[in-house]
Each structure stands twice: as structure tokens, then as C-alpha cells.
Amino acid sequence: MHTECPARYDAIVIGGSYAGLSAALQLARARRRLLVIDAGIRRNRFALASHGFLGQDGREPGAIVAEAREQLLAYPNVQWRDGMATDARHDDRGFSVSLADTRLAAPYLVLATGVKDELPSIEGLAQRWGRSVFHCPYCHGYELNEGRIGVLAAGPHSLHHALMLPHWGQVTFFTNGALEPDDAQRAELRARGVRIEPRRVLRLADTATVELEDGTRVVLDGLFTATHMTMASPLAEQLGCELDESPMGRYIRTDALKQTTVPGVFACGDAARMAGNVALAVGDGAQAGASAHRAMLFG
Ligand SMILES: Cc1cc2nc3c(=O)[nH]c(=O)nc-3n(C[C@H](O)[C@H](O)[C@H](O)COP(=O)(O)OP(=O)(O)OC[C@H]3O[C@@H](n4cnc5c(N)ncnc54)[C@H](O)[C@@H]3O)c2cc1C
């Protein structure tokens, strides 16, 4: 049962991690009455350290969010609700969002709901995700100290991954039936010093040792693979926002101001870009927050 009269805000930000906190900070500083709803399931919760975000390099990912949240909540015009928003709609009065048994309303929404990673189904891989198995070389490649790196193919787009990683170490490319490089691609890989391993991968052991179908063990310091990304929340689709498609998954279509195809709904962070990281999420969030505020002023 929903309460009859929904609480009204100037804007509701859904998702209170890097992108959402950044959007909310702009709106808070514009003195708007604001609600942030967050389920607390950050994409990088598996990693011990976050790299590549200016001023916070190497810091524990949750600590960055906790500090940003504390600074945001010092603004008296900001309210916070923990929980998963399950439904969002719009009518001629604006938008309403369901959270547990409450309906909350605002004329503007910012979606900062992130994505979920679907990992290749290989025994031992999920347990090592964020520790010795990664997707982003900029985030975790440097710490492998130019050591032994594997790239596990997840589809044709993994060729790109295998061609990049030699800047971070000595690369073995496990094609694992997900792609069959043609002669030109093989030559390109060889020119970059990549060893191609066509045998099937059975499981991961130790730090990142790959066990092949015939029992061969390839000892590695780290393994990279592409995940399939899905929206962490159906809210954008419920609202009728158009999505774009990439080989890695779908994401919310936005313009340069982070406005979605539904007027009044802004989107930022991983949910609204083909590939993201913390710095980009924070930048997108700042843009989405400022754009939502300008929409309040100028339509
Ligand atoms: C293993 C791993 C390691 C990574 N390491 C790095 C790194 O070192 N450096 C780097 O820059 N990037 C790294 N990344 C990428 C980084 O995690 C993302 O780019 C970043 O988290 C995106 O921020 P975001 O705010 O868009 O989404 P998220 O951080 O995923 O946050 C989304 C938030 O929205 C909430 N939410 C979703 N739906 C709802 C809903 N319906 N109602 C309420 N709340 C909702 C979620 O619970 C979550 O709190 C890593 C990713 C992974 C998977």
C-alpha cells in the first residue's frame, strides 16, 4: 500500500554512489530540496582499492563514497533514503517513485543507478572478481607490475582488450571458443607480443592460474575479461527512456547535457555510458545535476 499524498521534492536522485552523489552535490548547492535514494550496491564493491580517480588514487572504494555522502548530507536541504526504488512513472504533475510502501514525487529525476556485470561462467572466476580478475586495465593493470597477464575472450570485442594489455605486461590471449582471430588479427596480436591460446579454459585457481581442458596450467598474475553489462535498475525503461546498444550491453541514451530522451529525466554514470569509471561517473553526475537545475530555471 502506498501512502496517499506523495512527498514532493525539487528533484529525486536515484542511486547514491559516485555519479548520484556528484549530481546531488550540484543540486544541493543550488539550494534545491532534494532526495537521494540508494540501495548501496556499488559496482566496484568487489575491489579492495579504486585507482585512477584524481586525489583518491588507491583508496578503498567505499571510503570515497562514504566521505562524499557525509559532505552531501551536511546540506540541510538534502534527504537520504536507503532502499531500492522499484517503480517510476510520470504524469502531468511530474514524476513519482516507489520506495517500499512510500511514493515520492518530484518534477525532475536523475538516474544514477549503475550497471550489473554478468561474468563469463568459468569456475573460480567470480570469487576472484575485483581481486585478480578485472575488466579495466586503467583501473587495475598498473598493480600487476608488468607481469603475466591473461585476457579471457568473451566475444569478438575482446580482441581490442588483448591488443591493449601488452602495455601492462606479457599477455596470453585465451580465445576459449569466443572468437577465432583471422590471419590479419593474428598478425596484429603477434606484432604486439600477444601469445594466442586456443584451448578451452576449465577453471581458475590460485591467484589467477588458468587451468585448460587438457590439464595444462598457465600461471598468471592477473586476468582481464569483458563482462556483459545490464541495467542495475529497470526504472529508465519504465519511464520510457531510450537505450543505446553496445557489444557490452545497453545503456541510457543521453545528450551532452546528460538529458535522457524523456524530458525532465537526467542520467549519469555507468548507466548512461558505454564504458565508465569513477572519474567519468563523477563528471557525468556534475553535468546531470547542473543540467537538472538549469531545466528547473529555464525549462
Ligand atoms: C571489480 C571492479 C573494479 C573497479 N575498479 C575501478 C577502479 O579502480 N577505478 C575506477 O575508476 N573505476 C573502477 N570500476 C568501475 C566503477 O565501479 C564504476 O565506473 C562506478 O562505480 C560507476 O559509478 P555509478 O555511480 O555510475 O554506479 P555505481 O557505483 O554502480 O552505483 C550505482 C548505485 O545506484 C544504486 N541503485 C541502483 N538501482 C537503484 C534503485 N532502483 N533504487 C535505489 N538505488 C539504486 C546502487 O545500489 C548503487 O549504490 C570498477 C568496477 C568493477 C566491477
Instruction: Express each pLDDT in 223-237 by its tens digit.
Output: 999 999 999 999 999
Taking 60 as the threshold, does the pLDDT of residue 3 lie above it?
no
Mean pLDDT of 193-204: 98
Taking 90 as the threshold, does the pLDDT of residue 238 lie above it?
yes
Counted residue by residue, the chain has a size of 299
Q: What are phi and psi of 161, to 5 degrees?
A: -55, -50
Q: Which pLDDT tens digit goes with each residue over 40-56?
A: 999 999 999 999 999 99
pLDDT score for 82: 97
Taking 80 as the threshold, does the pLDDT of residue 4 lie above it?
no
Determine the residue of 35, 56, 79, 136 to mutate for testing ligand 1's pocket, defined as the one with the most ligand atoms within 8 A of the Cβ atom.
136
Integer angstrom CA distances of residue 5 from 8, 10, 35, 147: 9, 16, 16, 60
Distance CA 85, CA 103 (A): 10
Place of cell 563482462: 227
Same domain, 213 and 260: no
Domain boundary among 175, 206, 225: 225
Ligand 1 neighbours (beta carbon < 6 A)? 14-20, 37-44, 46-47, 50-53, 84-85, 112-114, 117, 129-130, 136, 139-140, 232-233, 235, 269-271, 276-279, 281
Same domain, 125 and 214: yes
Ligand 1 atom closest to 84 (CA): 42
Determine the distance separating the centroid of ligand 1 and the alpha carbon of 44, expressed in angstroms. 6
Same domain, 93 and 129: no
Taking 70 as the threshold, does the pLDDT of residue 285 lie above it?
yes
Domain boundary among 173, 196, 225: 225
Burial of 92 (0-12, 13-18, 19+ CB in 10 A): exposed
- Nearby residues of 76 by Cβ (< 8 Å), 6 or more positions away: none
pLDDT score for 6: 60
Domain boundary among 225, 240, 264: 225
- Mean pLDDT of all residues belonging to the chain: 96
Structural domain total, the chain: 2
Nearest to 292 by CA among 41, 5, 18, 19: 19
Same domain, 232 and 113: yes
Determine the residue of 42, 65, 97, 287 to mutate for testing ligand 1's pocket, defined as the one with the most ligand atoms within 8 A of the Cβ atom.
42
Determine the distance separating the centroid of ligand 1 and the alpha carbon of 20, expressed in angstroms. 10
Distance CA 100, CA 16 (A): 17
Q: Which pLDDT tens digit goes with each residue over 120-168?
A: 999 999 999 999 999 999 999 999 999 999 999 999 999 999 999 999 9
Taking 70 as the threshold, does the pLDDT of residue 5 lie above it?
no
Same domain, 47 and 141: no
Q: What is the CATH number of the domain that holds 183?
A: 3.50.50.60
